[in-house]
Structure 1
Amino acid sequence: MTAATGARRVVVTGGTKGIGRATALAFARSGARLVVSYGHDGEAAKTLAAELDGLGCEAELVQADLTTREGAEALARAVAGRFGEGGLDVLVNNLGVDGHRPFAELDDTEWRRVLDHNTTSAYLVTQALLGALGDGASVVNVGASVALRGRPFGVHYSASKAALVGFTRALAKELGPRGVRVNLVAPGVTLTEPVGGPPHPVAEKLAALTALGRLGHPEDVTGPVLFLAGESAAYVTGTTIEVDGGI
């Protein structure tokens, strides 16, 4: 089966929780073959592997620190082993962390932690997988809508996600001649875990600010990701799709 008929070869980074997990499962339901990376939570990886197996999905989970070149290259080796050279149809750069710290108290360690996970990992992984991306492939970066507005007590987080906007637009122009498209999905406040998200009073206030009157769920993001990865978006590149409920 070819990518055009459903068996797309897909990499999802940070794919065992939240938006990444929902994205991996959505691709699996579409018939894709997967390589999913994760950091340290072996239990989350184990339960995802079981879900993917239950869907009949051909998948490999790879543990790697993608904030390092060594980790990105380890992922690239796994992808080459699974899909072959030039065999990657979709790369979803989803790995990321949140950060809350007043700017006056922001230290170098916290700055680097957030920037390394949210921005540097996308650079390292995409560069390591350049040779694996086939002509006509799609790169989808997962950013945040706060990058376009800013967030108090999250200067480093906002900066890291804003950097992905420029990364996306510039890389789209560079890879365009190969037919490789690069786009960004920017979720708003998303309840990524059953007990995650902001405290209830804060969540209520944020939900009231949205046009739809609720916060997002991981599954709200997967549709735009699959759209950008698919043939329906064949002439869409360098763009940002906000998935924030109209906040």
Structure 2
Amino acid sequence: MEQRRAVHVVTGASGGVGRSIAEALLRTGAGVVVVDIRSAGWLDEVADGAVVVGDAGDAAVLSAAIERAREFGELTGWVNNAAVFRDAWLHEAGSEVVLDIVDAILRPTVAGAAAAIGEFVRTGVAGSVVNVSSHQAQRAVRGALSYSVGKAALEGLTRALAVDYGPRGIRTNAVALGST
């Protein structure tokens, strides 16, 4: 039976940590599809990569990323790196603004996990979802309430996905970064 090439989707990878993750995956010989609200111009010259420009929390954008991944081979990994960081004091910004920021942090991860797991279940692939968290999920930083709450929720989501989909061979992990 012919083994298809491993392909990974990395969200929030036009630069920074996401770009480093995508470049590391490319060095392994995998195909990479980047999803970002900005173009990842650095990937234009890479034969094994593609860019889908759009919101990583939008199901249609993620569907397009899966279609691009299928062009390279078989989706085996998904890295949910896309997030926002914006300070908001609860007493000044109010609950709606704080919740909007939490949503902007959590939505791309939930949507990405749903897209990846849906494809893994459809194809029978024992794939992997990696959610990029932060040390702030465990140790809040003054003035970053929304970020701490969003990343703590992301870690709870990661544990729940592991419990729900681990028996199907789908691995779900979180990587909590320090300050970058």
TM-score (norm. length: structure 2): 0.87
Look at both structures and tell me which one has the larger radius of gyration over its CA atoms: 1
- 1:163 corresponding residue in structure 2: 153
Q: 2:62 aligns with which of 56, 75, 80?
A: 75
Tell me how far 1:111 sits from its aligned partner: 2.1
Tell me how far 1:131 sits from its aligned partner: 2.5
CA RMSD, 1 decimal: 2.1
- 2:105 corresponding residue in structure 1: 118
SS in 2 for 1:131: helix
- 2:170 corresponding residue in structure 1: 180
SS in 1 for 2:131: strand
Q: Relative to 1, partners in 2 of residues 1:81 and 1:189: Cα closer, same or farther, differing over 3 Å?
A: closer
**What are the equivalent positions in structure 2 for 1:11-26 lying under 5 Å apart?**
11-26=9-24
How many Å separate the matches in 2 of 1:140 and 1:129?
10
Q: 2:144 aligns with which of 139, 148, 154?
A: 154
SS in 2 for 1:60: strand
- 1:30 corresponding residue in structure 2: 28
CA contact (8 A) 1:66 1:117 kept: no
Tell me how far 1:89 sits from its aligned partner: 0.4
SS in 2 for 1:132: helix
- Runs of 4+ in structure 1 deviating by more than 4 angstroms, as ranges, are none
1:158-193 per-position Cα deviation (integer Å, ceiling 9, x unaligned)? 000000111000110100111000000000111xxx
Structure 1: gaps (5+ residues): 191-247
How many Å separate the matches in 1 of 2:101 and 2:36?
16
How many Å separate the matches in 1 of 2:69 and 2:43?
18
Q: Relative to 1, partners in 2 of residues 1:99 and 1:78: Cα closer, same or farther, differing over 3 Å?
A: closer
Letter in 1 for 2:44: A
- 2:132 corresponding residue in structure 1: 142
- 2:117 corresponding residue in structure 1: 130
TM-score (norm. length: structure 1): 0.65
Letter in 1 for 2:137: A
SS in 2 for 1:135: coil
Q: Does 1:61 align with 2:59?
A: no
How many Å separate the matches in 2 of 1:173 and 1:119?
19
1:54-109 per-position Cα deviation (integer Å, ceiling 9, x unaligned)? xxx41110012123xxx22332233135317x931000000011122223112356
1:144-170 per-position Cα deviation (integer Å, ceiling 9, x unaligned)? 011101111011110000001110001
CA contact (8 A) 1:93 1:122 kept: yes
CA contact (8 A) 1:102 1:152 kept: no
Q: Relative to 1, partners in 2 of residues 1:112 and 1:66: Cα closer, same or farther, differing over 3 Å?
A: farther
CA contact (8 A) 2:12 2:56 kept: no
Identity %: 35
CA contact (8 A) 1:97 1:118 kept: yes
- Higher normalized strand content (fraction of residues): 2
How many Å separate the matches in 2 of 1:149 and 1:83?
39
